[in-house]
Structure 1
């Protein structure tokens, strides 16, 4: 089937010439491409070569017959570039060009039909350009009908016929958009199946998790209800027992008071009779007539003698012991001791372990505190930051009053907040100090002199962690316990101190980089734990042994401790 050109009807597109056979000057019919790259209609090239063979046969009949190989030389050549082929080439149909020609013919037919139907071709073309610009090639304004699968410099693009024939995609692997869609549709279907599977799995997982959330909430409410009921019963029983105990005390009190009142009544009667007898005696002594005096004596003598023989017991302290209450007090004390013991068993005595179990922030929320230093207790050479949490050893002492609570020799200070119950945890930044003592002490620790009774850890009233240039030790009552850290270094960044007063526990732990303050809890290792039955409130305590070096109590639960601190006050030189 031959395709007739209609330049005017087809719109006179210049690119149509590229689909025209250079022999018949018509659109390709069954296009075939030679090895030189030029394309012709199959019938046209066959006819050209057949004519050449016939001409050669006529010429050869008048001359000496040549050899078969030399007789065909120059017959099979390209009509366009004149390239000669030694033998007749195998001609294969150029499917891509054939498809493009068919589409061009179909497009021209459709345009002709539109023109016949209403002469609105220009309007239709304008509408198509306006509404379908994304379907046209940006370089040639032709429909995007092919897909270039790529080459070294191209990685897959939608292209038009001009791009394939003469544009930048000439010679690339090109397929129609229908073929590319078929391939991609298979991939899309595979992706869709996988996404459906993911969606189904995620939906099922979400449903299970939501169901689990409901179960956890229901279980929590049930547990809270059960615990609440049990505690309610316990509180009711305790309240009833309390009322019974108080009533027993009231009854015993009433009995004691009743006995006292009876004794008061008896004493009142004796007192009244004695007072009446004294008045009679006074009247008798005032009688001047001897006969009358004797007669009154004889009349009242028996009453005088009877009162004289009355023995009035001396007043004794009332009995203050309540027998029933003592037994009840012993019972309730035993119950409280047992309850406190059970609480101590649940106490996080090892902060390093419970950092991981509770999480550092939760541990700090429950037990964290940030003591402030008491300047009245501090040695005169110690200086403090405005928030009373940083302590620095100066080069010279300040002129301070010699207060009774001030350490006059030991370079140390106590904090202001006494700790006498519950559990508390605080941290001290020791990275800026080469010699220090960190710990706690009773308020009764000695303050004056250079003896062991004043220095932290060297007496029975204080506990501390001591670090010097060579060692790290735990110290109490003059007894040292050497400590070793991983790597053998005594240097720490921070020291954490945990106190459980009722349990008699004071634990020291080392805090590594990343832990502490508001930062989020890094690594921690327990260094030493003191076990002691505390009898007084404990005061956090610090001591510095190197001039210009500092210790800082971390503000737990406040601003992030890793924020840059205010610049430390410059200490004046000694004069």
Structure 2
């Protein structure tokens, strides 16, 4: 069938004109000529060829819409379908034919729309896809190339720095060895002379005698490799991003507050995820526990960290005064001195915020932090193998502060809050 040929014309080809019905006294008195009925049945709409009614031996030239079947005129007048909705076979065929013509025309229009969609829309989309994919590939290659170039340059710089530091320490060691070997030889000679003096010098001459020495050898930092020679902000940032976003990125098992350590100034939720600062009127006396902080608004985590890589997130958006970090389990719990105050001793490392003033605190020293936007969450990343502690902002993975520290004992997550509440994300 040609696409340009109207579907109605195609369906109507060879169709015989309908002959008038003979109506006399109702539907039972009308009938179609046999040729018209044969034409309709041969069209394939009804698979009936000259069939007769089983009850009346009359031609099936009417259609019962109620029972959806062909009937004869007697069935329509006096038979079981006399109260049903009936129509002549020719009228029914004409209606169905028109419906089919409408369906075919709609199918043809839909086919044309599909053809246009394939020829125009999909083809245009394919061209745009190829262009966009090409731009994306170029962008990826350019970014990876820039990162690779920067990383290779940083690698070369760091390796040269480590080499220079190694040569410096080697030179110091050689100098020290030469110096103390000479001192050892000199001391040996001096000892021989002193022994000779002791055995051969009269007592009267020993009165004014004296001894000498070469000093006491001692270890110094000059004889150690300076670990800062391998420190790189770029490398640390790339490493942290790889840990936080890379294929092997994973979060540690759920962290919770250790209820035993929670200060009387705080309350902890039943699920042990939320820590809230309480005013004086709401405070309840707490049972004595050697693990509990009794003066500072502190609490520790329940999970000890001494191996592997761990990261956890704390919701801090509701609080304007808090501390998050880590500490040794040996941190003092009693009293109001700095020994129990997070960030003011050598056993704790915390990020502190007080009314928008962000800083890193350790051993009483503060390092101010530039925070462009107040973070709703603070993330912590502890990598035990590299002895690295890192504070970051989870939404952007921007590093707020990082340090490499030789930790000599297992660490516990440490928290403090003096405004509203903080929550460990889970």
**What TM-score does the superposition give when structure 2 sets the normalisation length?**
0.49
Structure with the bigger RCO (C-alpha within 8 Å, sep 6+) is 2
Say which structure is richer in strand.
Answer: 2
**What TM-score does the superposition give when structure 1 sets the normalisation length?**
0.37
Question: Which has more radius of gyration?
Answer: 1
